[in-house]
Structure 1
Amino acid sequence: MTVRQEVIPSGTTRTKRSEFRPDIEGLRAVAVIAVVLYHAGIPGVTGGYIGVDVFFVISGFLITGLLWREVATTNAVALGSFYGARARRLLPAAATVGIATAITAAIVLPPLQARSVFVDGVASALYVGNYRFAQQGTDYLAADLPSPFQHYWSLGVEEQFYLVWPLLIIGTAWLIGRLRPGAAARALPYTVLLGLVGAASLTAAVLWTRISPSWAFFSLPTRAWELAVGGLVALTLPQWRQLPLLSAAVAGCGGLALILLTCTQLGPHTPYPGTAALLPVLGTALVIGGGSVTGSLGPGRLLCRPAMRAIGRISYSWYLWHWPVLLLLPQLLGEPAGLPARLSAIFISAGLAVITLHLVENPGRFAAALRRSAKTSLAVAGVATGVAACACLLLLRVIPVPVGHGPAAAAANIVALPTATFAGANPQAADPREAAVRDAFAQVRAAVAASASLRAVPSNLDPSLADAPADKAAVFVNGCVRSWREVGQAECATGDTASPTTVALIGDSHAAMWNPAFEQLADQRHWRLETLAKVTCPLQDLPIDSPYLGREYTECEQWRGQILARVTAEHPRLVVLSMSRRYGADFGFTSYDPAWINTLGHTVAQLRRSGASVLVLGPAPDPRSAVPACLSGHLDDATACAPARADAVSRAGVAAEQAAVTGAGGHYADVSDLFCTPERCPMIVGNTLVFRDDNHVTTEYARLLAPVFGALTDSAVTGE
């Protein structure tokens, strides 16, 4: 509604209503600026993602108001006109940006990553991308390789809302008309309905934020309450308009302050949406409700400024463009995404938004032929959507599944020297076992060195680049590796489960990734192998936070206690301890810091008191990128994906760990030579792909190293 001021006899200022609200246009500017600055990593705007919540409340207000006015006037909703107006307003611009994003991704991204982006593009073009990201478990606030279509999740929520909301309003009007003729034009039944929908949705959002954060963040059921709040403001506008001007101004200014405060005080580790989303949603409701009285006064003094309204007009297109430009421009230019590049991306995307507004958005919205015909509007928008989806599907065919086209490489082969089993271990036979360790390491060093200069990715790469991301050991999918919220440990024994010799493989996902090697050994040596692992949960007694959960990782602390108690009760012959070394300050500690080293020694000592021998595996090198995607973009030069050893392995950290472990009576295996020459760490050894992602080894490489781990375990047990 446009808000025009008039002076009433008392001398106070009131407002007259027309259809357009310039302050809401300015509020759109606040929302899009918050999102853009957050995604650009501008310091201080740590909670700018709440701009999407502001958009949701605005949409709920505008759409509910429109539908309510039509129902109250005609006792019906012209669905064709409603959907046609929404379609021509939103779909052509979204399709235009989607096509441009997919084509640019095909040009600048590694083929394997680009193909995943095209699938995201199809889902986004069909406005179900939010459920694709939820199903993948995407962490919107901390994604490692975010999709350039990831921001389309909110469009999916909006479009699903547009499909459901009118039907809900019509159904309510019909039901009320049947029960109480003449009551369908009253706002109260719809207000009660939206209140119930909002309460149920908010409850789901709070619960799912804890148990399933990705579904809580991306799904309509957990976001509907934000749209419902906007709808409640629309239905209660007569009550808002009874507020004195001063009270309305205070409410509006307080709401705007709340939005700005959450932009700076929330952060990527805030559990979201949960209860935290109440703050920006309430703030937006206060701005909209108060603005129905104050108009260009109160927060309207800022929001109604021409500059803010101009940004508000391009907010939709700017939102569409900013994220793919931020992600893809550095790739296109071959430059790092530093602050200057991100600032450039902000301005470039704003320029593209202005062009899109004038060439796509406005023609779609205001073309006379489209405005006259809902069918034509829907047809044009449907064609735009179909073209976008087909473009992504076509690119999936144009960009083939990447495969190595170099000569077939000989498979690496590591042969174990004959050694005695645990049952026949002789404490005096240390030298032959140490010789077995040296021989196994020498074989791997030779294989790694022979592959260090490999350029063309072998045609017989195992696993293939396309299969690598899914190349996970069975323990990752059968419940043996406990997820974020799970505690306790199921019976995960393999090998000879009746054997009196138990080997326990314990740690986080970096322990579980070695399971294929130890499972092979368990079958050969008749061990009872127990794999006890939990994601992002090292066994050391470290206070730990979870960036994924946005809170203290109490499940990890509980699981540690349960596992240590289990080791004490079961008395395994050998405990093999392994964990990632990629923990940073976000977790409350950093790998290799004094707390890490001290607690590692204490943990080894505690495990030793159970009577077990303890073998701690050193860190696998950090590949510095997602290896399959990197190799897919360098099929003729695999060395481009091989990091320098000095960058991939912390020599000082390994030395400190080794001292702590041996000092506590354990054995330490520096495995760096199993991956690296003195200079570099090749990502292919023989024809075996080493990593399936940016930090976990493939099952094939784990099995290749089984003889090495066999020699290490023999040495650890014999050395007691």
Structure 2
Amino acid sequence: MNTVVTAEQEHRSDGDRLTDPTATRSETSFRPDIEGLRAVAVVMVVLFHAGVPGVGGGFVGVDIFFVVSGFLITGMLWRDVSTTGTVGLARFYGARARRLLPVGGLVLVVTAICSAVLLPPLQARDVLGDEIASALYVGNYRFALHGTDYLAADAPPSPFQHFWSLGVEEQFYLLWPALIIGAAWMVRRVTRRDDANAPTSATPYLLVLTLVAAASFAVSSAWTDTLPSWAFFSLPSRAWELAAGGLVALSLRGWSRLPAAAAAVAGWAGLVLLVLACTRLDETTPYPGTAALLPVLGTVLVIGAGCAAPRLGVGRGLSLSPIRAVGRVSYSWYLWHWPALLLMPALLGHPLGLLGRLGAVALSAGLAMLTLHLVENPVRFAAPLRDSASRSLALGGAITAVAVCAGLMLLAARPVPVGHGAAAADLTVTTTPAPAAAAAPAVDPHEAAVQQLTAQVHAAVTESAATLAVPSNLSPTLADAPADKPEVFVNGCVRSWLEVGAIECAAGDPLSTTTVALVGDSHAAMWDPAFESAAEQRHWQLKTLGKVTCPLLDLPLTSPYLGREYSECEQWRGEVVARLQAERPRLIVLSMSRRYGGDFGFDVYGPAWLDSLTRMVAQLRATGAAVLVLGPVPDPHSTVPTCLSAHLDDVTACSPLRPVAVNAAGVAAEAAATAAGGGQYADLTELFCTADRCPVIVGKDLVFRDDNHLTLEHALALTPVVTALADRALAPR
């Protein structure tokens, strides 16, 4: 394959060229098999995102792109440093700017405009922030930060999320030349060679790259278990994949000397590994970590074997014209397919089925072909730009500035939505004093207090169910709602995914002889403001013990966020139960989300859930404490502030029907399971729903801060009911 690149070949695939480390600039050779390998990668990613069955691991296509980039870019840089002793940075970055930024900028701006028009205002504003970060190629770190925020974990994906991989590559492009230049400087210092044109050995560079790969792989393996979102999105945990391609580029001569039979076997084995990765891995696989070795090794074998150009090698298949045609549009197709898949449902007004998703993929392929011929190739091969690195860099800077400015202008044009309906009244619940003890009362005063207060709230809920326009005095505002969370979510009282231990989180009267423990996951923590207020009124001491996505039930639990068994939850549960047994509070309030799906390893309201609830209540009752289990709040089935931002004049569009929001049979089954364990159960449905619907605004209170957690204000408004429920549970039985 040591042929001179023709003008036609260079026009078709300027990037798929590399030299032997000892070759000169004119001895480069075109690699059609790499163009075909890009086609394999992009098809994997596109089919995976389209939800096509059988390609659950199609996300590994990005890993193929990383290895290919590492191979090509390291080869280009090595060619410079081996012939001139340094790297032509201006020429290198100018070529990257022509290659990547025109298409990237076009997709960014078009997607930003479509998002601003089609998405609900609050979601659109978040998405435009993603656009700005992606235009600056730091979006991968923005997505990593979002991934570590439990309360944002269920947010809908961004139409710019796929730009994370471009962020990784751009950061690689910034750091890799510095690494090569630094290695060249060290080689000259150590060998004391001043002649930059003297033959250069690749060995020192191989050693440096091996160290980088080893360190990055160690980071990737550690972060996959402890910081999965950072492991997935960040350069430090992905650099080893790029370095793997670079190692092939620096060992090109060794690969090219492989016997034809061995090279053919290696290439086909690499393709098999890629197919296995695509079909055997899935979204539950902890990734990247060691699982990424499968696609990375497969890509290395395919590229390395192609250096020997065996007659029966996999490269012959990858070099077929139809496959290479897909490879030529791979960059544009990758950029267009994800926005098409995410924005098409908003345009059509309904989710896409498989055929609809395949239609969106086909549309994005058409856009990719148009982009290739009208934007990518004309800019990439324009003589005035190719002949001037400074003009290429200026073009890149201008495109980046335009993309950032477009995001800022659209943010200004899409202001924060504010309710403009009539001001609503506060949700006022008449408080009652603690019921006095009475000798054989005809009606339990504690039960009567609960019923009276519940009736007051239910009346307000019924009145609010008819509200259409979002009140002008909504509290919190739609823009402030995502941050409207109790202090326990940020002060360590609620343990994050990887944290264990139950730190001291006490409120109320520290000298009180009545201790109330509020225990559970984030749905227990969202009630903390109400229980803190109750503790102050009743002079109790309140202790809040919480951990995200960790119900205090003895169930095997897998964390879809961590992609593995949730061992931290099991450890935390044991620590909390031991603490409760030692401290023996008078009342233990147990609350948990009912939104756990089958991907957690169990079914809410299923036999295992109910049996575990009975056992846990009985175990906690054995400490001598009264046990109160709080029933679920309704499931709004939408991110409420975002939904309301698109329906400022029709609140009912975001208020789910009661049968949809509440599993009445499940609530009844939980009540029976709690009673079987000796505890009391609080069915909260009447506090949130009419007979037909569960309004998401009650009075002037916004009920939900996201898609399942109460706002701080609404939890506080329900303090009288919470106090009465606790009074009833504490009363002698």
TM-score range, shorter chain: over 0.9
8 Å CA contact 1:480, 1:533 repeated in 2: yes
1:375 to 390, 402, 420: 390
- Write out per-residue CA displacement over residues 668-712 of structure 1, whole angstroms, 9 at most, x where no aligned residue: 111011111110111100000000000000011101111111111
Q: Tell me, yes or no, if structure 1 residue 238 matches structure 2 residue 249.
A: no
- The residue that corresponds to 1:650 in the other structure is 663
Query: How far does residue 263 in structure 1 lie from its aligned partner after superposition?
Result: 0.8
Q: Tell me, yes or no, if structure 1 residue 256 matches structure 2 residue 256.
A: no
8 Å CA contact 1:427, 1:718 repeated in 2: no
- The residue that corresponds to 2:372 in the other structure is 357
Q: Tell me, yes or no, if structure 1 residue 136 matches structure 2 residue 146.
A: yes
- The residue that corresponds to 1:290 in the other structure is 305
- The residue that corresponds to 2:50 in the other structure is 40
8 Å CA contact 2:261, 2:310 repeated in 1: no
- The residue that corresponds to 1:267 in the other structure is 282
- Write out per-residue CA displacement over residues 366-423 of structure 1, whole angstroms, 9 at most, x where no aligned residue: 00110000111111121111111100000010000111111111111011222248xx
For structure 1, the 5+ residue unaligned runs are 5-14
Farther off after superposition, 694-703 or 287-296: 287-296
8 Å CA contact 1:296, 1:304 repeated in 2: no
- The residue that corresponds to 2:464 in the other structure is 451
- The residue that corresponds to 1:10 in the other structure is none
- The residue that corresponds to 1:436 in the other structure is 449
2:569 to 556, 560, 565: 556
Q: Which amino acid in the other structure matches residue 162 of structure 1? A: Y
Distance 2:442 2:302 in 1: 79
2:554 to 538, 541, 558: 541
Distance 2:701 2:138 in 1: 37
Query: How far does residue 19 in structure 1 lie from its aligned partner after superposition?
Result: 2.1
8 Å CA contact 2:260, 2:311 repeated in 1: no
Distance 1:426 1:110 in 2: 58
- The residue that corresponds to 1:186 in the other structure is 201
Distance 1:350 1:197 in 2: 36
- Write out per-residue CA displacement over residues 109-155 of structure 1, whole angstroms, 9 at most, x where no aligned residue: 00000000111100000001011111222699986411111110111
> Could you tell me the percent identity over the aligned residues?
65
Inter-CA distance 291–143: structure 2 relative to 1 (3 Å threshold): farther
Distance 1:304 1:553 in 2: 45
Distance 2:71 2:701 in 1: 57
2:528 to 500, 512, 515: 515
Q: Tell me, yes or no, if structure 1 residue 90 matches structure 2 residue 100.
A: yes
Q: 1:124 aligns to what SS in structure 2?
A: helix
Q: Which amino acid in the other structure matches residue 51 of structure 1? A: G
1:628 to 634, 641, 654: 641
Q: Which amino acid in the other structure matches residue 241 of structure 2? A: E
Distance 1:295 1:72 in 2: 27
Distance 2:261 2:153 in 1: 42
Distance 1:296 1:376 in 2: 43
- The residue that corresponds to 1:100 in the other structure is 110
Q: Which amino acid in the other structure matches residue 58 of structure 1? A: V
Inter-CA distance 158–426: structure 2 relative to 1 (3 Å threshold): farther
1:490 to 494, 498, 503: 503
Q: Which amino acid in the other structure matches residue 269 of structure 1? A: T
8 Å CA contact 1:142, 1:268 repeated in 2: no
Q: Which amino acid in the other structure matches residue 57 of structure 2? A: G
Q: Which amino acid in the other structure matches residue 564 of structure 2? A: R
Query: How far does residue 75 in structure 1 lie from its aligned partner after superposition?
Result: 1.3
Q: Which amino acid in the other structure matches residue 59 of structure 1? A: S
Instruction: Spell out the pairing of 1:139-538 with structure 2 (5 A cutoff).
Output: 144-180=155-191, 181=193, 185-294=200-309, 297-420=312-435, 431-538=444-551
8 Å CA contact 1:177, 1:184 repeated in 2: no
Query: How far does residue 40 in structure 1 lie from its aligned partner after superposition?
Result: 1.0
- The residue that corresponds to 1:611 in the other structure is 624
Q: 2:472 aligns to what SS in structure 1?
A: coil
Inter-CA distance 139–410: structure 2 relative to 1 (3 Å threshold): closer
- The residue that corresponds to 2:582 in the other structure is 569
- Write out per-residue CA displacement over residues 199-257 of structure 1, whole angstroms, 9 at most, x where no aligned residue: 11111111111111111111111111111000000000111112111111111111111
Q: 1:221 aligns to what SS in structure 2?
A: helix
Q: Which amino acid in the other structure matches residue 517 of structure 2? A: A
8 Å CA contact 1:205, 1:216 repeated in 2: yes
Q: 1:503 aligns to what SS in structure 2?
A: strand
1:671 to 684, 687, 691: 684
Distance 1:441 1:420 in 2: 16
Farther off after superposition, 182-191 or 135-144: 135-144
8 Å CA contact 1:511, 1:533 repeated in 2: yes
8 Å CA contact 1:2, 1:21 repeated in 2: no
Farther off after superposition, 140-149 or 459-468: 140-149
Inter-CA distance 142–280: structure 2 relative to 1 (3 Å threshold): farther
Distance 1:706 1:340 in 2: 50
Q: 1:136 aligns to what SS in structure 2?
A: helix
8 Å CA contact 1:601, 1:660 repeated in 2: yes
Instruction: Spell out the pairing of 1:55-94 with structure 2 (5 A cutoff).
Output: 55-94=65-104
Inter-CA distance 131–197: structure 2 relative to 1 (3 Å threshold): same
Q: 1:560 aligns to what SS in structure 2?
A: helix
Aligned residues: 708
Inter-CA distance 3–669: structure 2 relative to 1 (3 Å threshold): farther
8 Å CA contact 1:641, 1:683 repeated in 2: yes
Q: Which amino acid in the other structure matches residue 88 of structure 2? A: A
- The residue that corresponds to 1:640 in the other structure is 653
Query: How far does residue 457 in structure 1 lie from its aligned partner after superposition?
Result: 0.4
Distance 1:714 1:153 in 2: 52
Q: Which amino acid in the other structure matches residue 166 of structure 1? A: P
8 Å CA contact 2:435, 2:445 repeated in 1: no
Q: Which amino acid in the other structure matches residue 283 of structure 2? A: P
Distance 1:569 1:266 in 2: 45
Query: How far does residue 719 in structure 1 lie from its aligned partner after superposition?
Result: 5.2
The two structures have a TM-score, normalised by structure 1, of: 0.96
Distance 2:510 2:97 in 1: 61
Distance 1:442 1:382 in 2: 63
Distance 1:368 1:220 in 2: 33
8 Å CA contact 2:560, 2:599 repeated in 1: yes
2:724 to 702, 711, 719: 711
8 Å CA contact 1:28, 1:55 repeated in 2: yes
- Write out per-residue CA displacement over residues 278-326 of structure 1, whole angstroms, 9 at most, x where no aligned residue: 1111110000001111356321232111111011000000110111110
Distance 1:57 1:551 in 2: 26
Q: Which amino acid in the other structure matches residue 422 of structure 2? A: P
Q: 1:332 aligns to what SS in structure 2?
A: helix
8 Å CA contact 2:469, 2:649 repeated in 1: yes
8 Å CA contact 1:30, 1:51 repeated in 2: yes
Inter-CA distance 139–461: structure 2 relative to 1 (3 Å threshold): closer
Inter-CA distance 550–3: structure 2 relative to 1 (3 Å threshold): farther
Farther off after superposition, 300-309 or 503-512: 300-309
Query: How far does residue 179 in structure 1 lie from its aligned partner after superposition?
Result: 2.1
